[in-house]
Chains A and B, each alone.
Chain A
């Protein structure tokens, strides 16, 4: 496994503003994923970030709202843009490792976002 950190751990933001969440891994990884976890709901995949290419977004999520960067093999950012109270959620990054035989992902501690 790897050590995965996220910043900030939590934030309270005003409607209409943007927040950038950072995800740092202590080893090189192929794929990084961004999820949203809303109360009482399943983890929902927002997008997949592969280093050196555009992020791939899941249905219902768009780049203008959730721009993602992946500048290297150990770091990624997710921006939540033009926030509304409906964006209040926990945002999680996860990683998988190259050469693994089994699909498993390892998660960061999450960023708890409250939008007022």
Chain B
């Protein structure tokens, strides 16, 4: 079993839809959880990060962590064509500096 599992998609939705992106993980030591957005031919851009379990909201984006289920989610409300990108989850075990473990990324396509 890979440490981080993420459905590669593509996930196609119409503009305005609510999008749910998810990752599961196996390492219970992970405490820090991040979502990156990567546009085609660009580097990953940090979108959100959370510590331990709970929710965090930033505009149209909500990150959710359920450590008991080893499951994290990113919700996008009122999705826009400009949200079309690959979304990568990443996680780490410690603060300060430690290695990030990435999922493979989910490609999202939002059609007008």
Which residues of A pack against B, CB within 8 Å?
A: 1, 4, 30-31, 40-43, 45, 48, 92, 94, 96, 100-110, 112
Please provide the chain B residues from 49 to 75 with a CB less than 8 Å away from any CB of chain A in the complex: 49, 51
> Which B15-53 residues have a C-beta within 8 angstroms of A?
32, 34, 36, 41-46, 49, 51
> Are B44 and A92 neighbours in the complex by a CB distance under 8 Å?
yes
Contacts of B44 in A (CB 8 A): 43, 92, 107
- Residues on B close to A: CB < 8 A? 4, 8, 32, 34, 36, 41-46, 49, 51, 88, 90, 92, 94-105
Closest beta carbon of chain B to A90's beta carbon, Å: 9
Interface centre among B45, B51, B102, by most chain A C-beta atoms within 10 angstroms, is: B102
- A30, A41, A107, A112: which contacts B45 (Cβ < 8 A)? A107
Q: A40-B8, A103-B92, A104-B34 are in contact. Are A112 and B98 (CB under 8 A)?
A: no
Q: Is the CB of A104 within 8 A of B102?
A: no
Q: How far is the CB of A6 from chain B (nearest CB, A)?
A: 8
- Residues on the A chain within 8 Å of B46, using CB: 1, 104-106
